[in-house]
Amino acid sequence: MKHSRIIAIFSVIVTLLASCGRIEDPSSELQSRTIYFGANDMAIEGFSLWAYQHTGFWASTQNSDILLNNTGNGHAHVTGNSAGTTWSYGTPVLWPSNKQVSFFAYAPHNAATSVYAPGAPQVPIITYEVSGTAGNQGDLIISEALLDKTGPTAASMTFYHALSRIEVSAIRSSHLHEPVYIKRVEFKNLYNTGTVALDTPILWTLNGAANNNYILSVSGGTLMDVAVGDTYASLLPSPGSALLLMPQPLAGRSIAVTFTVGDIEFEWEGQIPSPLNWEPGMIYDYKLEIGGEMVTVTCSELEPAYSGANWNEYAY
């Protein structure tokens, strides 16, 4: 599955320094046994983390205890400073003796509408809803589960983009010479809610009805008014911005475009073209060719050219 490819990497290091011989300073021993975090991407300033201690392997044990719980809700909020150089979850916690630890995480912190996390052997599951306003939707990333870890082994968690990134641009057909303006682009009949386990590959179960529409026409309450010429013009409001939507099958989904050619306004609607599905962590580049009253839509499925980028930076 393409969603299993790594799109963005945020390494969360959980390290226990090994000690040997006689410990002269008890505080030094405690410090060496402390679970602590670091991250190599400065765009993330906080994530929700579930950490469980258990005897035996996660998948086969029936008993686990919450290890980190600074929220009081069974999980930890790990925060970083603006420079991304210091990470904290409150009072330090030590690696347990004679037990293993399993970690699960997603970001941004508390973005899920609900969480089901009963402990071993069940991986935590979140319910998530994409914002009803296209421009308000930020990134969502989910970590590969980190299972059965013990100190002093150093380990890292890798996060993946969980949503699909949609980009849209338009061009005027070569036989047209009148001015062309795009007034509105709308993706129609979409799912916007789903549940997903905090592990990879990222597999969404869609909830509710496919009756949500996402409009690119509104920016500060005004209609889009993008001039389209002989080269492709982005229909998103700022360079690098994107529409982040729920991964889903596209059968029955449509795209509608309102545009003017000269002084005449047209409304066109058609099926969202192949591929058949939006997958997590993939970019879908839709290109519209305005040819009089008709619109031709093509799509390219892409992997991000940037590595380690947080799509929160690109939401508009």
Question: What are the pLDDT tens digits along the chain (316 aa)?
Answer: 444 344 444 444 443 222 222 233 445 666 667 787 655 453 466 789 999 999 999 999 999 999 999 999 999 998 876 555 566 788 888 889 899 999 999 988 889 999 999 999 999 999 999 988 777 788 898 988 999 998 765 447 778 889 999 999 999 999 999 999 999 999 999 999 999 999 999 999 999 999 999 988 655 555 678 999 999 998 876 656 678 999 999 999 999 999 999 999 999 999 999 899 999 999 999 999 999 999 999 999 987 654 455 554 443 3
* Inter-residue contact 301 to 280 (CB < 8 Å): no
In a domain, 68, yes or no: yes
Which bin fits 246, alpha (ψ -120 to 50), beta or left (φ > 0)? beta
In a domain, 295, yes or no: yes
CATH code of 265's domain:
2.60.40.3380
CA distance 107 to 10: 11
* Inter-residue contact 255 to 272 (CB < 8 Å): yes
75 and 172 part of one domain: no
| Single pTM value for the model | 0.86
For 50, the domain range is 2-161
User: In the block, which residue shows the tokens 């990470």?
Assistant: 87
144 and 70 part of one domain: yes
CA distance 188 to 185: 10
3-state percent breakdown (helix, strand, coil) of the chain, nearest 5: 5, 40, 55
259 and 273 part of one domain: yes
215 and 112 part of one domain: no
pLDDT computed for residue 49 by the predictor: 92
CA distance 60 to 121: 6
Q: Looking at the DSSP assignment, which residues form a beta bridge with residue 165?
A: 244, 283
pLDDT computed for residue 95 by the predictor: 87
Backbone angles phi, psi at 181, to 5 degrees: -130, 135
155 and 168 part of one domain: no
pLDDT computed for residue 307 by the predictor: 44
User: In the block, which residue shows the tokens 């906080």?
Assistant: 46
In a domain, 98, yes or no: yes
Element (H, E) at 171: strand 164-172
